[in-house]
């Protein structure tokens, strides 16, 4: 297949990479990454993969399958447009919104599949395949790779637990304005090494508020990784809010503390005031939410077998075998305008892939 890995936001890189690696292992595929330069001025894989920031080149490539973690993809591109999801969060209403850009939704697990299949019957213009979430393939490959690094860090700092603070960037949902003092208190009073890992879209003012703490306190570490996965694997406890990273951490069967999460279902320790953080941290050691996490893993994403990328490629092949390769996607005028405004127009000349 000719495959486009459609990378509009920086967080999409780690979601799409496992599909890229699986396609390379299979062989017989042509792979082109689209990198949206406005949001990704520096592409960390630029020396490792074939990529472009030119939408005309993407069109001329004549893709057969396009994998998209973000919410929009140009309707005029040929190929099966496949939504891979960009996380597990269900409390944000836009996560369930059907915008009409996609031919297929590759769902992480039964909880998502049942609802999206209901909507597929209602809309009648897309299909659903349950595959798991691709970033979990990276987790599967590297599950124990950072154990020695973690042990070394804890030994150097003389601490027993590694705690990760990973808040959402959304101004209406983030805990960032309220958590600084209580995090400092936790770092001073508990036997922990504290990682600060913020979303790439976090406001600069909040980065400026927290980043200097890593210079002032020995047991606070600022993480600039473009991918949070390594931090998730290393940490013993996560502190967050309404971030989709919470769900990734739960899949590793580890305890979470959130401040004012708006999730409909809570599988972790949720506090309502920053001052409750210290006591909540002590409660995590008792781990009272193990059974809730078990249900979550079975229903949100049970596919932690390293084969998600394969299932996603199989889903595209199956769609093409039954329907052929779509030449474009039918779209209402407003959606077309949104595409053109964000990605520009292309010349629909003879495509290089033909």
CATH of the domain at 55: 3.40.50
DSSP 304: -
pLDDT at 92: 55
pLDDT at 285: 78
Q: In whole angstroms, how far apart are CA 18 and each of 31, 85, 281, 312?
A: 13, 14, 34, 10
Q: Say how far apart CA 176 and CA 323 lie, in whole Å.
A: 47
Per the DSSP assignment, residues forming a β-bridge with 237 are: 163
Shared-domain flag, residues 254 and 282: yes
pLDDT at 225: 80
Q: Residue count of the chain, please give it.
A: 354
Shared-domain flag, residues 308 and 295: no
Shared-domain flag, residues 45 and 154: no
- Number of alpha helices (DSSP H) and beta strands (DSSP E) in the chain: 14, 13
| 262: enclosing H helix or E strand | none
Whole-prediction pTM value?
0.84
Considering the domain boundaries, does residue 351 fall inside one?
no
Rg (CA), the chain: 21
Q: In whole angstroms, how far apart are CA 51 and each of 30, 57, 189, 243, 255?
A: 11, 10, 48, 29, 38
Place of tokens 């078990």: 294
Shared-domain flag, residues 103 and 237: no
**Burial level of 331, CB count in 10 A (0-12/13-18/19+)?**
middle
Shared-domain flag, residues 290 and 258: yes
Given a contact cutoff of 8 angstroms between Cβ atoms, the answer to whether 4 and 67 are in contact is yes
Provide the residue range defining the domain that includes 155: 142-300
pLDDT at 351: 56
Per the DSSP assignment, residues forming a β-bridge with 182 are: none
* Low-confidence residues in the chain, pLDDT < 70: 89-96, 349-354
Considering the domain boundaries, does residue 258 fall inside one?
yes
Shared-domain flag, residues 101 and 165: no
Q: Say how far apart CA 159 and CA 172 lie, in whole Å.
A: 34
Please tell me the total count of domains within the chain. 2
15 alpha carbon, distance to own chain's centre: 6
Shared-domain flag, residues 180 and 289: yes
Exposure class string for 320-330: b at 16+ Cβ within 10 A, else e: beeeebbeebe
DSSP 258: E
Given a contact cutoff of 8 angstroms between Cβ atoms, the answer to whether 293 and 267 are in contact is yes
Shared-domain flag, residues 179 and 274: yes
pLDDT at 91: 58
Shared-domain flag, residues 168 and 200: yes
Considering the domain boundaries, does residue 354 fall inside one?
no
Shared-domain flag, residues 295 and 316: no
**Count of C-beta atoms within a 10 Å radius of residue 354:** 7
Considering the domain boundaries, does residue 264 fall inside one?
yes
Which of 253, 214, 219 has the alpha carbon at shortest distance from 233?
253
pLDDT at 143: 93
Given a contact cutoff of 8 angstroms between Cβ atoms, the answer to whether 238 and 249 are in contact is yes
Shared-domain flag, residues 326 and 207: no
Shared-domain flag, residues 162 and 296: yes
SS3 content of the chain, % helix, strand, coil (to 5): 40, 15, 45
């Amino acid at each position: 297949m000719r495959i486009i890995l459609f990378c509009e936001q920086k967080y999409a890189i780690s979601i799409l990479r496992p599909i890229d690696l699986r396609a390379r292992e299979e062989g017989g595929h042509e792979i082109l990454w689209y990198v949206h330069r406005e949001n990704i001025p520096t592409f960390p894989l630029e020396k490792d993969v074939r990529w472009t920031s030119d939408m005309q080149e993407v069109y001329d490539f004549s893709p057969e399958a396009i994998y998209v973690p973000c919410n929009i993809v140009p309707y005029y591109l040929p190929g099966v447009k496949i939504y891979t999801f960009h996380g597990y969060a269900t409390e944000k209403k836009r996560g369930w919104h059907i915008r009409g850009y996609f031919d297929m939704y590759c769902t992480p697990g039964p909880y998502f599949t049942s609802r999206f299949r209901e909507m597929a019957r209602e809309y009648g213009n897309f299909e659903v395949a349950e595959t798991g979430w691709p970033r979990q393939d990276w987790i599967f490959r590297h599950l124990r790779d950072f154990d020695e690094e973690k042990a070394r860090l804890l030994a150097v700092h003389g601490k027993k637990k590694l705690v990760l603070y990973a808040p959402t960037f959304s101004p209406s949902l983030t805990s960032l304005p309220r958590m600084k003092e209580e995090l400092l208190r936790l770092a001073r009073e508990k036997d922990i090494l504290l990682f600060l890992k913020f979303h790439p879209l976090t406001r600069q003012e909040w980065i400026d508020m927290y980043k200097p703490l890593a210079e002032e306190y020995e047991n606070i570490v600022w993480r600039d990784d473009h991918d949070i996965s390594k931090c998730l694997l290393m940490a013993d406890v996560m502190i967050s809010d309404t971030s989709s990273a919470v769900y990734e951490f739960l899949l590793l069967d580890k305890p979470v503390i959130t401040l004012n999460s708006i999730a409909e279902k809570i599988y972790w320790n949720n506090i309502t005031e920053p001052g409750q953080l210290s006591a909540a941290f002590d409660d995590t050691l008792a781990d009272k939410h193990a059974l809730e996490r078990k249900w979550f893993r079975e229903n949100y994403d049970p596919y932690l077998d390293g084969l998600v990328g394969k299932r996603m490629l199989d889903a595209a092949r199956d769609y093409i075998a039954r329907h052929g390769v779509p030449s474009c996607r039918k779209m209402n005028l407003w959606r077309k305008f949104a595409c053109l405004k964000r990605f520009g127009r292309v010349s629909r000349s003879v495509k290089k892939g033909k």
